[in-house]
Every structure is written in C-alpha cells, then in structure tokens.
C-alpha cells in the first residue's frame, strides 16, 4: 500500500481528541500523527505559510507544541533534504487541516507518516483562528492534548512545564564534535540546536567544527579558529550559565557571530539581560529595520525570549512590530548577533548578507593577527 493511501485511510479513522490549555480553554479536534493519549508542552503559534517540515525539525522548538496558523498543512509532503535536524524535538503539532495526500514532485512521504515515524503527536481539525487569538491575548502557555478524557488532559495541562528557567539545549546539542563544510576559513560552531541550513551557509565559506554546547572557551581557542558561531536553540538563555561564561571568555579574542539563542547568549555574556516575550516571534514575515541604512528586511523568526540593556554594544536592528532589539554589535569585542534567522529555512533571503559580514570580520581579524 502506498504512503498516500495509508495516510488517507488514517484520516478516515481519526479518533476524537481535545486540546486543553493551562488556563482551562478547550479546543476540539481529531487525533493525528503518533498515537498518544496525552501529550504536553508549551504551546506557541507559527505564522509561516510554508516550510512546515523545517519548522517541525527545528531544534529550537524543543519542549514546545507548535500550532500553525496557516489552515492547510502537509500540502507538499516531506523529504529528507528539508530536515533541519536529525529528528524533530518539538512536543507536538496543532493544525486546522492536515492534508492526507501531498502533491509535489519532491515529496517522498506525507507529513502524517513523517510525524508517526518520529513519534510526534498531532491534533487536526482545531479552530486555529480562535486558538491564535487566545494565545495573542493570554500568551504562550503549557497545554495538553490527545485522546484521553478532557478532565485528565486538563490536569496534565495545569502541571505541564513552560520553558522558563529550563536548559533545553542539553536535549538537542551534539554529544561529540564533528566537521562540516570545506571553505577556506576555520570556524567553531557552538551547537545550541544548530540547523542544517545554517551549516550549509557557513560551510560554503569555512571548514566547520561543530562542538557541544558545554565546550569550554580554552578548548575552542586551542583549535585556532578564525571565528566562532553561536547557533539557535531552545529554552531560556538564563538557564545557560556554562555556555554564557565560555562566550564571555571568547569575546575580544576571536570574532563571534550569534543567531537567535546565540544572540541572547552573546548579549548576556556582554552584560545584558533577557526577558520572555508574551507569545514570542514565530514566523517568516517579521519586519526588521537595519538602523545603519534604514532598510527594512522581512525576516524569519523563532524565539520566545529577547535581549535588552547590553552595555558597550550598539543596537543594529529593531523589530518594527513591537520594538524588540533584533541585532547588536560590539566593535571592541569583534562580535555581533541578530535575533532572527538570516539562513531562512524557511523564510525570505533578505538578511543573508550577514554571513558575508561574518566572513569579512574574520578576514579583517586574521589579517590583524598576522600583522
């Protein structure tokens, strides 16, 4: 039996399911994906119109349940080339309509089969418009969903943990160093939950050594890198004292470029602080102004935390929706970072120039050291 036919039969046999939020709000739906009576996690919504496979496999969603605002998910199936990590780390998926039969020449597997293969539970048929409006008012919060009785799901939602104060990076980081890319420069990549698209962009200009999140600064410097890259990742940056201390020991000694959680870790290492946003930024359509030129970039974003008050660093980018700091630079420390995702997996390509900025910074630093 073909995979699309299997998916269609599964859709015809769906069981009733419920999504219950920690504040008691209840949404009806049908069970999909991996079959579990109760699944829990911190519920957030993502506004991307496409790129659902990249979203589901983004390690930054560890500990979270992703609700897609776009009504039809699964239209073009899945394929191995679009995976951003070795497996999904999210706790579940919420959709309005899960397409059973994909239509795309690149598709090798329907989304539901993909979710089942990796043990990711889902709920379909949910009124995601009402859900999104509620989360925008009440904020991201723990939830529970599945086929268990509503009172059992309600109890599970009330005790489910949020991401506050949690080190989720340890769940997604590599356990051993590995190499990628073949570019002429040498870059050490801190894996806080790095995405494949990031490694492809960096690997075009540098030979990469990807190291675990807990790698001390002296071990990084012993490799003689031209630069250090701080990746995206999940959870609360305040729960990462070890990586923050390592980055604090690296700034000023080697060029540093951070993205998303890497931006937050760099800001904290420079003496800044972080805070949790009400419902975060998750989508591919966030307008960000580059202050040096006034140009507005449409960006891909996925984060629940933001930075503020970074001493000695200039703000380079600002979110036009809510004023959140989206980029910083410390010229004395040879370091810069952005809150959004210039690798755009998925998303627009407006900000990919930042990889070239990193290359130029490393080249300038290498020339200075040789001189």
* Assigned fold of 169-370: Rossmann fold (3.40.50)
Give CA–CA dist 93/29, Å, rounded. Answer: 12
SS3 327: strand
Q: Where are the alpha helices (DSSP H) in 160-295?
A: 169-172, 196-203, 217-222, 241-250, 261-269
Contact partners, residue 184, CB within 8 Å, separation at least 6:
205, 206, 207
Q: Which two tokens stand for residue 273?
A: 């602080």
Instruction: Quickly count: other Cβ atoms within 10 Å of residue 166's Cβ.
Output: 18
pLDDT tens for residues 220-235?
999 999 999 999 999 9
Give CA–CA dist 59/235, Å, rounded. Answer: 10
Is 343 one of the annotated active-site residues of the chain?
yes
5 DSSP β-pair partners: none
How much is the pLDDT for 156?
98
DSSP conformation class of 15 = P
Is 341 one of the annotated active-site residues of the chain?
yes
Q: Which two tokens stand for residue 257?
A: 């470029």
Q: Where are the alpha helices (DSSP H) in 139-250?
A: 150-159, 169-172, 196-203, 217-222, 241-250
Rounded to 10 degrees, the C-alpha dihedral 268/217/313/226 comes to -140
Buried b (16+ CB within 10 A) or exposed e, 68-106: bbbeebbbbbbbeebbbbeebbbbbbbbbbbbbbbeeee
Q: Which of 134, 201, 281, 341 is catalytic?
A: 341
Q: Cβ distance 227 to 254 under 8 Å?
A: yes
Q: Which of 196, 201, 260, 303 is catalytic?
A: 260
SS3 264: helix
How much is the pLDDT for 165?
96
pLDDT tens for residues 263-286?
999 999 999 999 999 999 999 999
Per-residue pLDDT of the chain (371 residues; tens, 9 = 90+): 344 445 554 566 899 999 999 999 999 999 999 999 999 999 999 999 999 999 999 999 999 999 999 999 999 999 999 999 999 999 999 999 999 999 999 999 999 999 999 999 999 999 999 999 999 999 999 999 999 999 999 999 999 999 999 999 999 999 999 999 999 999 999 999 999 999 999 999 999 999 999 999 999 999 999 999 999 999 999 999 999 999 999 999 999 999 999 999 999 999 999 999 999 999 999 999 999 999 999 999 999 999 999 999 999 999 999 999 999 999 999 999 999 999 988 988 998 999 999 999 998 765 445 44
How much is the pLDDT for 7?
52
Q: Which of 84, 109, 112, 343 is catalytic?
A: 343
Please tell us whether the domain made up of 3-159 is placed in CATH 3.30.70.380: no
Is 295 one of the annotated active-site residues of the chain?
no
Kindly tell me the burial class for residue 184, based on how many C-beta atoms sit within 10 Å of its own C-beta (0-12, 13-18, 19 or more): exposed
Q: Where are the domains of the chain?
A: 3-159, 169-370
| Omega cis (within 30) before 192 | no
How much is the pLDDT for 368?
46
Q: Cβ distance 345 to 196 under 8 Å?
A: yes
Give CA–CA dist 318/227, Å, rounded. Answer: 25
How much is the pLDDT for 12?
65
Contact partners, residue 356, CB within 8 Å, separation at least 6:
none
Q: Cβ distance 91 to 140 under 8 Å?
A: no
Q: Which two tokens stand for residue 237?
A: 């940056």
How much is the pLDDT for 240?
98
């Amino acid at each position: 039996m073909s995979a699309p036919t299997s998916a269609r039969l599964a859709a015809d046999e769906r069981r009733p399911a419920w999504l219950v939020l920690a504040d008691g709000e209840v949404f009806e739906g049908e069970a999909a994906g991996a079959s579990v009576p109760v699944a829990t996690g911190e519920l957030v919504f993502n506004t991307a119109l496409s790129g659902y496979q990249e979203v589901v496999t983004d390690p930054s969603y560890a500990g979270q349940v992703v609700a897609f605002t776009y009504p039809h998910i699964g239209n073009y199936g899945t394929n191995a080339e679009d995976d951003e990590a070795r497996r999904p780390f999210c706790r579940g998926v919420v959709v309005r309509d899960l397409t059973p039969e994909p239509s795309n020449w690149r598709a090798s597997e329907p989304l539901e089969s993909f979710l089942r293969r990796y043990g990711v539970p889902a709920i379909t048929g949910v009124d995601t418009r009402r859900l999104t409006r509620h989360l925008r008012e009440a904020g991201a919060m723990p939830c529970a969903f599945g086929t268990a009785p509503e009172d059992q799901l309600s109890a599970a939602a009330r005790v489910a943990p949020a991401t506050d104060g949690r080190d989720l990076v340890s769940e997604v980081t590599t356990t051993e160093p590995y190499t990628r890319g073949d570019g002429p420069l040498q870059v050490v990549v801190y894996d806080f939950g790095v995405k494949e698209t990031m490694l492809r962009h960096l690997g075009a200009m540098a030979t990469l050594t990807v190291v675990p999140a807990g790698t001390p600064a002296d071990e990084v410097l012993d490799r003689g890198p031209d630069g250090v890259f701080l990746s995206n990742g999940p959870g609360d940056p305040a729960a990462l004292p070890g990586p923050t201390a390592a980055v604090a020991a690296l700034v000023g000694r080697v060029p540093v470029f951070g993205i998303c959680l890497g931006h937050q870790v760099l800001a904290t290492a420079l003496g800044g602080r972080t805070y949790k946003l009400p419902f975060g930024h998750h989508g591919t359509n966030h307008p960000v102004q580059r202050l040096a030129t006034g140009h507005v970039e449409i960006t891909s974003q996925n984060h629940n935390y933001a930075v503020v008050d970074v001493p000695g660093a200039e703000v380079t980018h600002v979110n036009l929706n809510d004023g959140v700091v989206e980029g910083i630079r410390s010229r004395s420390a040879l370091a810069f970072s952005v809150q959004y995702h210039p690798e755009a997996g998925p998303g627009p390509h407006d900000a990919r120039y930042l990889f070239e900025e990193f290359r130029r910074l490393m080249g300038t630093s290498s020339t200075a050291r040789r001189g």
